Amino acid sequence: MFKTKTPKPGRLLKSVLTLAGGTAAGQVVTLGAYPVLTRIYSPEEMGIFAVFFALVSILGIAVSGRYELAVLLPESDDYAVKVAKTGVRVAAAISILLFGVVLVASSPIAGVLGERQLAGWLFLIPPIAFLTGLFNVLNFLNNRAELYPALARVQLSRSFVVATCQVLLGLAHAGPAGLIVGQAVGVPVATLHLARSASKAKIRDVETTWRDSIEIARRYRQFPLYSAPAALANTGSVHITNILVGSIFSTVTLGFFSLAQRALGLPTMLVVQAISQVFLREATRRRHSSEPLTPLFDQFAKRLGLLAVPLFVALFFISPSLFGFVFGSEWRVAGEYCQLLVPLFAARFVANGLATVTAVLERQIVALSWQVAILLIAVSCAAAVAYAQGSIELFLVLFSISGAVAQFSLLVTLRKLCVSHDGDTQMKDSNATE
């Protein structure tokens, strides 16, 4: 059912290139649409969409309790399928709960967000959240089966559908609804692609009782207890800033800020996600076979660093001119914001690519602690600037520098975890041979 052979030399690089190629192609489509989108949608409309997208991203990342991360851990393939089904059930339960909240309090929630016209669109969040959870589970199930070409293709198809819908609806003068609906359509399309690839790979369906799911939920309880809050904090540190910027400054400023984040973050972070999935699988294999993790960590950290330095140095110098040329002169301001965010995104590029080692070592509490710290940094910077009635530029500088320091501290901590694990493994092996 699943491939379980030890990777051949060069296979890791091939896997990285396959996934990175798919994500890169998807981002070419997305970024190719942005010069059109920025000319048919205003900064204010982009700002309204950013609030909706922030809510979907924050809720969707943890709706399955992060049990999808546990799909790679069992040695038994049948048990891995049961873990996947448990994640889907958790996603369904939480989505139903979300629908009840929206049904009762959609207007007050929209009022708190400062975007009352979002009230009707909030009803899209529960089904999108569930489909996102299902997508995440299928994503890791395909990863376990090493269906890397399918994972690469899904990024391209999703980006194409979203971009096409948003452009067509924008040309029809749909306003922010065009951006929201276009984004919503891409989720089921991507989920269907992954489900089809899993079916073609003959991943056997395994009967999973509710008792099985309860046992699995308890066995891997660290994922909802620590990984889910960590993912919420990580995503929140990115997307809650959108809500804060919109409320402290203006929706127009948020439009510029959201474009800076997406144009800078999406192409780089999706490549990092592809690399981290391969790192996660190889690190899991090494742990099962009692091989050292530190050399693998150092290898991936070095490669990520070599990618980050020239990329982000170039972006720092050319961002304002590049944004003005590509997205239109009105959006040059977003390029200036991007310039100030370079330190944060460079550090995040390296650290996030290796953060999944906490899942391999089942030390999710470490990821949770650091992500909460990063989230608090974002909120603290916003609160300080709001209190001082400072500018958006002051907020970006504070947020970028403090966030970069936190990300590099996380990287050091992750390496220490690998060194500690290797030492413990070596000691156990020595005791076993005596």
pLDDT, tens digit, 9 for 90 and up, residues 231-260: 887 788 778 888 888 888 888 999 999 999
Q: How far is CA 345 from CA 78, 140, 404, in A?
A: 39, 25, 8
- Cα separation, 303 vs 297, in Å, equals 10
pTM: 0.75
Q: Which amino acid is at 351?
A: A
**Is 38 a residue whose pLDDT tops 60?**
yes
- Cα separation, 361 vs 63, in Å, equals 22
Q: Is 328 helix (H, G, I), strand (E, B) or coil?
A: coil
pLDDT attached to residue 9: 46
Within 13 A of 363's CA, how many CA atoms are on the CB side?
Answer: 15
Nearest Cα neighbor of 408 from 419, 400, 396 is: 400
pLDDT attached to residue 6: 47
Give the pLDDT confidence of 131-150 residue by residue, as tens digits: 999 999 998 988 888 788 88
Report the pLDDT averaged over residues 53-66: 91
pLDDT attached to residue 27: 74
pLDDT attached to residue 8: 52
Q: pLDDT class for 4, splitting at 50, 70, 90?
A: very low
Q: What percentage of the chain carries pLDDT values higher than 70?
A: 92
pLDDT attached to residue 206: 80
Q: pLDDT class for 22, splitting at 50, 70, 90?
A: confident
- Cα separation, 415 vs 422, in Å, equals 11
Nearest Cα neighbor of 45 from 217, 205, 207, 258 is: 258
Gyration radius of the chain over CA positions:
21
Q: Under a CB-based contact definition with an 8 Å cutoff, are residues 71 and 133 in contact?
A: no
Q: Under a CB-based contact definition with an 8 Å cutoff, are residues 343 and 315 in contact?
A: no
Better pLDDT: 434 or 56: 56
Q: pLDDT class for 209, splitting at 50, 70, 90?
A: confident
Mean of per-residue pLDDT scores for the chain: 86
**Is 7 a residue whose pLDDT tops 80?**
no
pLDDT attached to residue 431: 63
Q: Under a CB-based contact definition with an 8 Å cutoff, are residues 273 and 351 in contact?
A: no
pLDDT attached to residue 338: 93
Q: How far is CA 197 from CA 138, 142, 147, 165, in A?
A: 9, 8, 8, 24
Q: Under a CB-based contact definition with an 8 Å cutoff, are residues 170 and 40 in contact?
A: yes
**Cα 402 from chain centre:** 21
Q: Is 394 helix (H, G, I), strand (E, B) or coil?
A: helix
What's the CA dihedral at 21, 23, 26, 30 to 10 degrees? -130
pLDDT attached to residue 274: 74
Report the pLDDT averaged over residues 342-364: 87
Q: pLDDT class for 16, splitting at 50, 70, 90?
A: low
Q: Under a CB-based contact definition with an 8 Å cutoff, are residues 408 and 347 in contact?
A: yes
Q: Under a CB-based contact definition with an 8 Å cutoff, are residues 132 and 56 in contact?
A: yes
Q: Give the 3-state secondary structure percentages of the chain, helix then strand then coil, rounded to 5.
A: 85, 0, 15
Q: pLDDT class for 25, splitting at 50, 70, 90?
A: confident
pLDDT attached to residue 103: 93
Helices 43-60 & 176-200 angle (0-180, nearest 10): 40
Q: Which helix (H) or strand (E) holds 331?
A: none
**Is 3 a residue whose pLDDT tops 90?**
no
Nearest Cα neighbor of 235 from 32, 66, 413, 384 is: 66
Give the pLDDT confidence of 71-130 residue by residue, as tens digits: 988 888 888 889 999 999 999 999 999 999 999 998 888 887 777 778 888 999 999 999
Better pLDDT: 317 or 6: 317
**Is 430 a residue whose pLDDT tops 70?**
no
